[in-house]
């Protein structure tokens, strides 16, 4: 499928289930960006989940987010039960302006339903010459270090660095050690998993993927990853004034789509923080030092080369996913 | 030794080697905080390194940092070759004021020499009711994921959350998988190390601590930790306008003390980001959920209980360290 055909399919499907053009376009954009960059798990694969929340009424496909300047460097967006991409688009111009005025600015998102990859959100901010950071929580599937019961979401963290004239460098990683889907694949194929991936239903560490599916995941990097996951809960929860993962789960209707939650997003102007324009040459010299070593790459390099290929050749989309979308 | 005796010893020693009262007091404060909380590796143990930089002239013990407001939410401090704690103290009031006005503010530090634990720097900011984040680089000792040669420093990240009426929650962790000192202990005791800790001089992964000491460390959590370590280099280097780890090493005189480098520090006012005071009760409810699970604790809990004990009973200080300080 061409990139434009993917966008039309996503937008048309969402509008068929009651989303207005603004909401449908915002979600179709992030679905399309994901397919274009080869991030299949955040592409059309998510469309049935988005539709489920429209059908159940959990998400308001006609929501009109409100943008409120709470302080000079704080641009709050209340989605009023919108999909997160709609709220992000509503607030982005004000966030960029605040960061370019104050040097740094934060955009707390409340009343949104998050189901997209964070890098899709940072890219337009980085394209505006800003560094950016975002994190969000979800529903509990990950134990805190030393504990036995899921409390944290998979809690991704993303950071982007602008590279004028090039695609920005963006990493976007779950603080969970791996996705539940990967554990499912290991179970299907009869593989055991390394230690440190998960616990069984009683909270005891195990390498058996079937037991982990009944239990919970761990964070990456042991207690260090656990600290980061806790930071995500605090920033996307208490800091912005939205649900912690455990609160989101308690309120959710389990329709298969994302629960209501918050997001913490931040933009930084390196020209203002440094006091001059030297940051770009300086950073590029550092990236050169990474590339100098065989076997290294920058986060996102694979996505960016997928993008060039898919723009030219189109994207191969699984027939199973297309059938599921038709069946909606 | 009593906490006050530790402070006097540190302050007196630094002044004997040419530091003025402001510089000596700022460094003595962070040395004392570390000893008091049981972080021996950042306490009196570091004093010979601090003194070495005064003797070599790399650090100016009489430096007077300058504080410049580069934008509404950017408080730059140039240490003019001071120790980092002196620069931090000089800029902290303006950082706190900017964060309480704008909602978020950043303090880029340049021209400083960093040798302290980051949590000591965040604590007074959190005590003022703000969340805080800091990171700094050093000299290369850690490989980028997939590479073979040290490029990153141990690159710590710290995050703190205010808990009015209690000690703030602060985590402070190297993005290196472990300290070189710990590898040295394993070599001494004849232990092998787990996979994923380091590489030999040729950049090949090894579990032999003796080979890792000739080679380099890895980041914690594989490529995810490597992305975070890269983020630290960008924030404390190109963003603030100071050296990357590889540049700091190239310029350093190897006197045993810290090279000149930068630091990125940020403060966030949860009341302004959230738009109300509800963040404290909300966060405490989340912390309760962590404590509910046997085996968990919050980062810093051990430090805080050490503090109470040491305030009452004094601190046990190694005679070897005291002898080294006397020998200066």
CB contact under 8 A, B274 and A241: yes
Kind and range of the H or E run holding A266: strand A260-268
B182 tagged catalytic: yes
pTM of the model: 0.97
What are the pLDDT digits (tens) for A16-36?
A: 999 999 999 999 999 999 999
Domains of chain A: 3-177+218-276+313-327 (3.30.1370.60)
Task: List, in sequence order, every beta strand (DSSP E) within chain B.
Answer: 66-71, 74-83, 104-113, 131-136, 156-161, 169-174, 198-199, 205-206, 216-217, 260-268
Distance between CA B177 and CA B237 in Å, rounded? Answer: 21
The whole-angstrom distance between B134's CA and the closest CA on chain A is 13
Report yes or no: A49 and A328 within 8 Å, Cβ to Cβ.
Answer: no
User: Averaged over B35-43, what is the pLDDT?
Assistant: 94
Cα first-last separation, chain B = 19
pLDDT band at residue B181 under the 50/70/90 scheme: confident
Q: Would residue A182 show up in a list of annotated catalytic residues for this protein? A: yes
Contact A159 B103 (CB under 8 A): no
Structure confidence at residue A239 (pLDDT)? 98
Give residue B44's pLDDT.
96
The predicted structure's pLDDT at residue A80: 98
CB B268 within 8 A of CB B103: yes
Number of neighbours of residue B280 by Cβ within 10 angstroms: 18
CA pair distance A29, B54, nearest whole angstrom = 57
pLDDT at residue B180 above 90?
A: no
% helix, strand, coil for chain A, step of 5: 45, 20, 35
The pLDDT, as a whole number, for residue B57 is 96
Q: Which of B244, B8, B258 is nearest to B112 (CA)?
A: B258
Question: Above 90 in pLDDT, residue B111?
Answer: yes
Q: What is the pLDDT of residues B249-259, one digit of tens each?
A: 999 999 999 99
Mean pLDDT of the residues in chain A: 96
Is the pLDDT reported for residue A180 higher than 90? no
Comparing alpha-carbon positions, the chain B residue that sits nearest to A291 is B147
Q: Do A286 and B244 touch (CB under 8 A)?
A: yes
Rg, chain A, Cα only: 20
Please spell the DSSP secondary structure of B148-204, one letter per residue.
SS--B---EEEEEE--TTSPPEEEEEESBSS-HHHHHHHHHHT----TTSEE-TTS-
Facing residue for A278 by CB, picked from B104, B151, B241: B241
The verdict on whether B41 is a catalytic residue reads yes
Best mutation target, B148, B227, B264, to test chain A (most A CBs within 10 A): B227
- The CB density around residue A322, as the number of other CB atoms within 10 Å, is 14
- Gyration radius of chain B's alpha carbons: 20
Residue B160 pLDDT greater than 90, yes or no: yes
Q: What is the pLDDT of residue B203?
A: 96
**B112/B86 Cα distance (integer angstroms):** 9
Tokens 């299907």, residue located: A188
Q: Which two tokens stand for residue B263?
A: 């630091």
Nearest C-alpha in B relative to A244: B286
Q: Which residues of B touch A240 (CB under 8 A)?
A: 273-274
Give the pLDDT confidence of B55-66 residue by residue, as tens digits: 999 999 999 999
Q: What is the pLDDT of residue A179?
A: 84
Q: What is the pLDDT of residues A73-115, one digit of tens each?
A: 999 999 999 999 999 999 999 999 999 999 999 999 999 999 9
What pLDDT is stored for residue A260 in this prediction? 95
Would you call A290 and B144 a contact, using CB atoms and an 8 Å cutoff?
yes
Model pLDDT for residues B222-260, shown as the tens digit of each residue = 999 999 999 999 999 999 999 999 999 999 999 999 999
* Neighboring chain A residues of B282 at a CB cutoff of 8 Å: 237-238, 241, 244
Residue B136 has pLDDT above 90, yes or no: yes
CA-wise closest residue to A131 among B236, B118, B273, B109: B236
Count Cα atoms within 13 angstroms, Cβ side, for B199: 21
Percent of chain A with pLDDT over 90: 98
Sign of CA dihedral B117, B12, B125, B84: negative
The residue among A72, A74, A71, A104 whose CA lies nearest residue A91 is A74
The arithmetic mean of pLDDT across residues A139-153, rounded, is 97
- List chain A residues with CB under 8 Å of B239: 131, 268, 270, 273-274, 279
Asked whether the beta carbons of residue B159 and residue A231 sit closer than 8 angstroms, the reply is yes
Residue of B nearest to A68 (CA): B275
- Token pair, residue A150, equals 């899921």
> For A245, which residue in chain B has the nearest alpha carbon?
B286
CB B222: neighbour CB atoms within 10 A? 16
d(CA A134, CA A120): 11
Beta bridge partner(s), residue B162: none
Could you give phi then psi for residue A102, rounded to 5 degrees? Answer: -90, -20
Q: Could you tell me the strand order of the sheet in which B169-174 lies?
A: B66-71, B74-83, B104-113, B260-268, B131-136, B156-161, B169-174
| Residue B104 pLDDT greater than 90, yes or no | yes
CA-based nearest distance B73→chain A, Å: 5
Tell me whether residues B286 and A106 touch, CB distance under 8 A. Answer: no
Q: Inter-chain contact B148–A105, Cβ cutoff 8 Å?
A: no
pLDDT at A155 over 90: yes
Q: Would the pLDDT of B179 be above 90?
A: no
> Does the pLDDT value for residue A262 go beyond 90?
yes
- As a whole number of angstroms, the distance between CA A204 and CA B191 comes to 27
Span A246-253, mean pLDDT?
A: 95
If you ran DSSP here, which 8-state letter would residue A40 be given?
A: G
Subunit contact A275:B241, Cβ cutoff 8 A: yes
């Amino acid at each position: 499928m061409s990139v434009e055909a993917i966008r039309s399919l996503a937008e048309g499907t969402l509008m068929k289930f009651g989303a207005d053009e603004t909401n449908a376009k915002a979600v179709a954009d992030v679905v399309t960006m994901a397919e274009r960059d080869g991030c299949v798990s955040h592409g059309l694969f998510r469309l049935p989940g988005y539709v489920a929340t429209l059908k159940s009424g959990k998400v308001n496909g006609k929501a009109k987010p409100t943008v409120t300047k709470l302080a000079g460097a704080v641009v709050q967006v209340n989605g009023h039960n919108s999909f997160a991409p709609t709220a992000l688009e509503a607030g982005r111009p004000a966030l960029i302006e605040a960061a370019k005025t104050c040097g740094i600015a934060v955009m707390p998102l409340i009343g949104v339903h998050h189901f997209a990859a964070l890098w899709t959100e940072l890219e337009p901010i980085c394209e505006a010459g800003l560094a950016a950071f975002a994190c969000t929580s979800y529903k509990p599937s990950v134990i805190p270090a030393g504990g036995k019961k899921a409390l944290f979401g998979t809690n991704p963290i993303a950071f982007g660095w602008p590279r004028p004239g090039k695609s920005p460098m963006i990493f976007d990683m779950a603080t969970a050690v791996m996705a539940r889907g990967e554990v499912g694949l290991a179970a299907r194929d009869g593989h055991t998993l390394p230690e440190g991936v998960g616990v069984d239903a009683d909270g005891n560490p195990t390498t058996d993927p079937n037991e982990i599916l009944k239990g919970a995941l761990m964070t990456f990097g042991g207690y260090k990853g656990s600290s980061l996951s806790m930071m995500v809960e605090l920033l996307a929860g208490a800091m912005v004034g939205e649900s912690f993962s455990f609160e989101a789960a308690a309120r959710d209707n389990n329709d298969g789509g994302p629960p209501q939650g918050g997001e913490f997003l931040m933009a930084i102007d390196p020209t203002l923080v440094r006091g001059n324009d030297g940051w770009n040459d300086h950073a590029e010299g550092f990236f050169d030092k990474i590339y100098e070593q065989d076997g290294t790459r920058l986060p996102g390099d694979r996505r960016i080369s997928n993008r060039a290929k898919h723009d030219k050749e189109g994207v191969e989309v699984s027939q199973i996913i297309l059938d599921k979308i038709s069946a909606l």
